[in-house]
């Protein structure tokens, strides 16, 4: 019998969530006052969970490593949030959102979870509007929508290119309201260092006060992780500098299974790398692909001239441009899913058609859209026979209203005006679909330990569709965990407060403090960043957009050697008391160095291509990803063993599809 019981409720797909809610245990309001819940992270999932659980009456302690809950990295999400509202009457429905998400995820996610996500998506929009989130509106006063990759309807709600910011500030305001009522105790600048398990259940955490350096013990009846994704294992990613895997990894080391760790999303539209000093990469929202056309030159000599900066892109005539997404995928064109768009960009650049000095960039061109919008505007304004310049000026205004902040961001970084010359973009690590394994209730394999949002694996399979991360974070926090956690906590109404004086807390704290002492006393020679960059390069070259058996095996050996050297030779100046940013980084990187190996192992084991996971050995003659459903229709879930990620034990949760027909994805 597999150790993995997903606890999918009985009944038809569309009734599962309602049936489940009707059957699960509830905790009465008087008892909720005696139950404590810890929430780690205050992004969309964490802030919405903390606020809602507090509202229900639980005593919540929330922790964020940032200086304020409002700064969690959800804030940087740009393009939008999906919901099956069908306000545009363009054929959308809960089923279609479910279907698109399953297909977009390349049939590697659980039907029941994804259906629930689509089902509650509509409530998210209602909720956010009630909270005063200023979504974009049409002139009639109703909410506006736009399209995202991998779908044929307009279901994405947005607030310019700052949708994540507005949704997070909404959740933050709900959280702030509960803090002011004393129902949430907020700990800023506190980072989770370990989970404490008592009698097999998650009963608390060890956290480090990043200002004083002191370790603290906090107990609770349940622990909710909402600590985000682990894209920073690649060093360069679109994640914030502080985004890390430590909370999730410590959970893994304490018995929570890690699912599909190799499933990484490489986002196609990011600003290309400019040099060795680079600390992070910047995303340009996928919404830009609504209007931007992606191209490289048809002729290699043109590409070479561009690489040497001898010509400008605007000098290349229309007939010499290769709009390769439109060419290869006529049905979806520039709006193919992210994994497909990223691989296609890599393919062109590897073939020598890249357009910047590193040959690692393609164009995203708005010239057509500017003229198209301009003509419509001229028509609306009653300007007959407008000149091209007039049309262009009118069109630029429309583009500015839609994407102004993104264009400004691009200009500040690249020092080029994207209204005049096409943007240059290249894929970058953006999101991790993999994460802690959770059941339908979002509980990990450790009783009482939950994982929400990007830190779980649950909804996006092998590739996430655009505008679905915000949807999942808020769905988990506002509408799923408030129900499912009650089912578990109903057994805890007589438990009373959990002591932090137990041997388990003692041991966990000692484990953390020993690790910290090791770092500050190590007197090594190389900085933390030195190792992080080396790890990132191994990951990007061998566990990135394209993976092979040979590369993955080499990566595993290289990461193991690097990890050993890191522990011997890393240098952390300063002490374990007071603020020490190098120490914070050392702890995070030590976990990335273990995670990297597990990611490579998982990628090696899965000899099919699916979604963002592309194995060179598994492709069609045309170079498209080739899935192998007979062998790989399962979730990989790893169990930590013997203090060594290399010895992790693989468990498989079979995936069954009863409501969709499984086929090879085609966007042609």
Partner 1 sequence: MKLHLKIWRQNGPQDKGKMVDYDINDVSPDMSFLEMLDVLNESLVAKNEEPIAFDHDCREGICGTCSLFINGEAHGPDRAVTTCQLHMRKFKDGDTIYIEPWRAKAFPVIKDLMVDRSAFDRIIQAGGYVSVNTSGNTLDANAIPIPKHDADRSFDAAACIGCGACVATCKNASAMLFVSAKVSQFSLLPQGKVEAKQRALNMVKQMDEEGFGNCTNTGACEVECPKEISLENIARLNREYLSAALVE
State which of positions 85-104 bind partner 1 (CB under 8 A).
85, 87
Q: Which is nearer to partner 1, 215 or 480 (CB)?
A: 480
Q: Which is nearer to partner 1, 30 or 130 (CB)?
A: 130
SS3 letters across 210-224: CCCCCEEEEECCEEE
- Of residues 29, 91, 140, 317, which one binds partner 1 by CB under 8 A? 140
Q: Check binding of 479 to partner 1 (CB under 8 A).
A: yes
117 contact partners, CB below 8 Å, separation of at least 6? 98, 101, 459, 468, 471, 472, 475
Q: Check binding of 579 to partner 1 (CB under 8 A).
A: yes
Contacts made by residues 552-561, CB under 8 angstroms, sequence distance 24+: 552/600, 552/601, 552/603, 552/604, 553/604, 555/596, 555/600, 556/597, 556/600, 556/601, 556/604, 556/646, 559/535, 559/593, 559/596, 559/597, 559/600, 560/597, 560/646
C-alpha 334/C-alpha 320 separation (Å) is: 18
Q: Check binding of 55 to partner 1 (CB under 8 A).
A: yes
By the 8 A CB rule, do 476 and 468 touch? no
- Of residues 9, 69, 79, 611, which one binds partner 1 by CB under 8 A? 69
H-helix or E-strand containing 449? strand 449-451
Per 3-state DSSP, what percentage of the chain is helix, strand, and coil (rounded to 5)?
A: 45, 15, 40
Q: What is the number of other CB atoms lying within 10 angstroms of the CB of residue 76?
A: 17
Q: Which is nearer to partner 1, 479 or 566 (CB)?
A: 479
Q: Check binding of 120 to partner 1 (CB under 8 A).
A: yes
Q: Which is nearer to partner 1, 15 or 126 (CB)?
A: 126
Reading the block at residue 257, the tokens are 């299974």
- Of residues 9, 17, 46, 66, which one binds partner 1 by CB under 8 A? 66
Q: Which is nearer to partner 1, 138 or 605 (CB)?
A: 138
Q: Check binding of 568 to partner 1 (CB under 8 A).
A: no
Q: Least separation, in Å, of the C-beta of 383 and partner 1?
A: 22
Q: Check binding of 450 to partner 1 (CB under 8 A).
A: no
Largest CA distance in the chain: 82
Q: Check binding of 129 to partner 1 (CB under 8 A).
A: yes
Q: Check binding of 298 to partner 1 (CB under 8 A).
A: no
Q: Least separation, in Å, of the C-beta of 327 and partner 1?
A: 32
C-alpha 359/C-alpha 194 separation (Å) is: 43
- Candidate ranges 123-131, 322-330, 416-424, 462-470; the one touching partner 1 (CB under 8 A): 123-131
C-alpha 7/C-alpha 2 separation (Å) is: 13
Q: Check binding of 17 to partner 1 (CB under 8 A).
A: no
Reading the block at residue 199, the tokens are 């009698």
CA distances from 249 to 423, 436, 487 (A): 37, 9, 26
- Of residues 16, 20, 61, 70, which one binds partner 1 by CB under 8 A? 70
Q: Which is nearer to partner 1, 144 or 302 (CB)?
A: 144
- Of residues 29, 91, 275, 317, which one binds partner 1 by CB under 8 A? 275
Angle between helix 163-180 and helix 44-56 axes, rounded to 10 deg? 30
Q: Which is nearer to partner 1, 414 or 495 (CB)?
A: 414
Q: Least separation, in Å, of the C-beta of 582 and partner 1?
A: 6
Q: Where are the alpha helices (DSSP H) in 26-110?
A: 29-32, 44-56, 94-104
Q: Least separation, in Å, of the C-beta of 179 and partner 1?
A: 5
Q: Which is nearer to partner 1, 304 or 582 (CB)?
A: 582
What is the DSSP code string of 507-554? HHHHHHHHHHHHHHH---SB-HHHHHHHHHHHHHHHSSSSB-HHHHHH
Query: Using CB under 8 A, which residues numbered 184 to 223 contact partner 1?
Result: 186, 188, 211
By the 8 A CB rule, do 226 and 477 touch? yes
Q: Least separation, in Å, of the C-beta of 258 and partner 1?
A: 25
Give SS3 for 311: coil
- Interface with partner 1 (CB under 8 A), residue total 82
Q: Least separation, in Å, of the C-beta of 198 and partner 1?
A: 30
- Of residues 17, 187, 478, 634, which one binds partner 1 by CB under 8 A? 478
Q: Where are the alpha helices (DSSP H) in 138-228?
A: 163-180
By the 8 A CB rule, do 465 and 339 touch? no
* Alpha-carbon torsion (179, 180, 182, 188), positive or negative: positive
- Of residues 19, 25, 28, 68, which one binds partner 1 by CB under 8 A? 68
Q: Least separation, in Å, of the C-beta of 299 and partner 1?
A: 28
Q: Which is nearer to partner 1, 166 or 342 (CB)?
A: 166
Q: What is the number of other CB atoms lying within 10 angstroms of the CB of residue 668?
A: 11
Q: Least separation, in Å, of the C-beta of 210 and partner 1?
A: 10
Q: Check binding of 527 to partner 1 (CB under 8 A).
A: yes
Q: Least separation, in Å, of the C-beta of 82 and partner 1?
A: 14
- Candidate ranges 28-36, 197-205, 269-277, 440-448; the one touching partner 1 (CB under 8 A): 269-277
Q: Least separation, in Å, of the C-beta of 140 and partner 1?
A: 6
C-alpha 221/C-alpha 497 separation (Å) is: 8
C-alpha 119/C-alpha 114 separation (Å) is: 9
C-alpha 543/C-alpha 616 separation (Å) is: 12
- Candidate ranges 127-135, 244-252, 368-376, 602-610; the one touching partner 1 (CB under 8 A): 127-135
Q: Check binding of 127 to partner 1 (CB under 8 A).
A: yes
Q: Which is nearer to partner 1, 125 or 206 (CB)?
A: 125
Q: Which is nearer to partner 1, 496 or 573 (CB)?
A: 573
Query: Using CB under 8 A, which residues numbered 151 to 180 contact partner 1?
Result: 159-160, 162, 164-166, 169, 172-174, 176-177, 179-180
Q: Which is nearer to partner 1, 63 or 478 (CB)?
A: 478
Query: Using CB under 8 A, which residues numbered 350 to 409 contact partner 1?
Result: 408-409
CA distances from 33 to 52, 178, 350, 447 (A): 14, 14, 60, 21
Q: Least separation, in Å, of the C-beta of 575 and partner 1?
A: 9
Q: Least separation, in Å, of the C-beta of 271 and partner 1?
A: 9
H-helix or E-strand containing 247? helix 246-253
Q: Please state whether beta strands 201-209 and 423-432 pair in parallel, antiparallel, or not at all (unpaired).
A: unpaired
Q: Which is nearer to partner 1, 54 or 604 (CB)?
A: 54
Q: Least separation, in Å, of the C-beta of 563 and partner 1?
A: 20
C-alpha 371/C-alpha 366 separation (Å) is: 9
- Candidate ranges 46-54, 465-473, 503-511, 628-636; the one touching partner 1 (CB under 8 A): 46-54
- b/e code 548-582 from CB counts within 10 Å (16+ = b): eeebbeebbebbbebbeebbeebebeeebeeebeb
Q: Check binding of 18 to partner 1 (CB under 8 A).
A: no
- Candidate ranges 61-69, 366-374, 612-620, 622-630; the one touching partner 1 (CB under 8 A): 61-69
Distance separating the N- and C-terminal Cα atoms of the chain:
41
- Backbone φ and ψ for 374, nearest 5 degrees, come out as -60, -40
């Amino acid at each position: 019998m597999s150790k993995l019981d997903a606890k999918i409720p009985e009944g038809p797909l569309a009734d599962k969530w309602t049936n489940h809610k009707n059957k699960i245990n509830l905790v009465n309001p008087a008892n909720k006052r005696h139950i404590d819940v810890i929430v780690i992270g205050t992004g969309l999932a964490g802030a919405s969970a903390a606020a809602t659980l507090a509202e229900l009456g639980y005593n919540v302690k929330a922790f964020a490593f940032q200086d304020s809950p409002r700064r969690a990295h959800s804030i940087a999400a740009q393009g939008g949030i999906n919901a099956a509202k069908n306000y545009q009457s363009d054929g959308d429905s809960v089923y279609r959102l479910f279907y698109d998400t399953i297909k977009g995820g390349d049939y590697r996610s659980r039907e029941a979870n994804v259906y629930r996500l689509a089902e509650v998506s509509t409530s998210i929009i209602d909720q956010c509007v009630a909270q005063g989130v200023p979504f974009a509106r049409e002139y009639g006063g109703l909410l506006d929508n736009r399209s995202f990759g991998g779908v044929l309807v307009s279901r994405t709600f947005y607030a310019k290119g700052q949708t994540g910011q507005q949704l997070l500030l909404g959740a933050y305001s709900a959280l702030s309201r509960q803090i002011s009522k004393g129902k949430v105790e907020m700990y800023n600048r506190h980072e989770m260092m370990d989970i404490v398990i008592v009698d097999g259940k998650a009963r608390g955490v060890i956290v480090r006060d990043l200002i004083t350096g002191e370790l603290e013990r906090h107990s609770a009846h349940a622990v909710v992780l909402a600590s985000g994704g682990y894209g920073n294992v690649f060093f360069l990613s679109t994640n914030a500098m502080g985004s890390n895997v430590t909370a999730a990894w410590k959970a893994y080391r304490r018995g929570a299974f890690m699912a599909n760790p190799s499933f990484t999303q490489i986002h196609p539209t990011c600003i290309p790398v400019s040099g060795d000093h680079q600390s992070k990469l910047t995303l340009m929202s996928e919404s830009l692909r609504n209007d931007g056309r992606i191209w490289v030159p048809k002729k290699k000599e043109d590409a070479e001239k561009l690489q040497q900066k001898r010509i400008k892109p605007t000098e290349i005539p229309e007939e010499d441009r290769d709009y390769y997404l439109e060419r290869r995928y006529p049905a979806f064109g520039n709006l193919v899913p992210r994994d497909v768009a990223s691989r296609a960009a890599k393919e062109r650049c590897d073939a020598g058609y890249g357009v910047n000095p590193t040959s690692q960039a393609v164009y995203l061109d708005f010239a057509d859209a500017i003229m198209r919008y301009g003509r419509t505007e001229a028509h609306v304004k009653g300007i007959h026979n407008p000149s091209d310049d007039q049309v262009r000026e009118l069109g630029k205004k429309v583009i500015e209203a839609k994407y102004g902040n993104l264009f400004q961001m691009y200009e500040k970084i690249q020092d080029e005006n994207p209204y005049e010359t096409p943007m240059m973009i290249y894929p970058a690590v953006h999101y991790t679909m993999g994460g802690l394994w959770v059941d339908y209730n979002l509980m990990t394999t450790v009783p009482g330990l939950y994982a929400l949002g990007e830190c779980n694996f649950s909804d996006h399979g092998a590739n996430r569709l655009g505008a679905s991360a915000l949807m999942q974070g808020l769905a988990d926090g506002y509408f799923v965990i408030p129900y499912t956690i009650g089912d578990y906590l109903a057994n805890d109404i007589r438990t009373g407060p959990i002591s932090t004086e137990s041997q388990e807390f003692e041991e966990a704290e000692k484990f953390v403090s020993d690790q910290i002492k090791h770092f500050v006393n190590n007197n090594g020679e190389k900085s933390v960043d030195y190792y992080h960059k080396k790890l990132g390069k191994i990951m990007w070259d061998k566990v990135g957009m394209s993976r092979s058996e040979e590369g993955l095996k080499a990566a595993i050996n290289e990461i193991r050697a690097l990890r050993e050297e890191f522990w011997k030779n890393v240098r952390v100046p300063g002490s374990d008391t007071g603020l020490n940013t190098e120490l914070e980084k050392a702890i995070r990187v030590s976990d990335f160095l273990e995670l990297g190996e597990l990611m490579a192992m998982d990628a090696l084991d899965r000899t099919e291509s699916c979604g963002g996971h592309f194995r060179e050995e598994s492709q069609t003659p045309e170079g498209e990803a080739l899935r192998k459903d007979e062998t790989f229709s399962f979730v990989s879930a790893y169990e930590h063993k013997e203090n060594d990620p290399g010895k992790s034990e693989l468990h498989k949760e079979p995936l069954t599809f009863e409501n969709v027909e499984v086929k090879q994805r085609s966007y042609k």
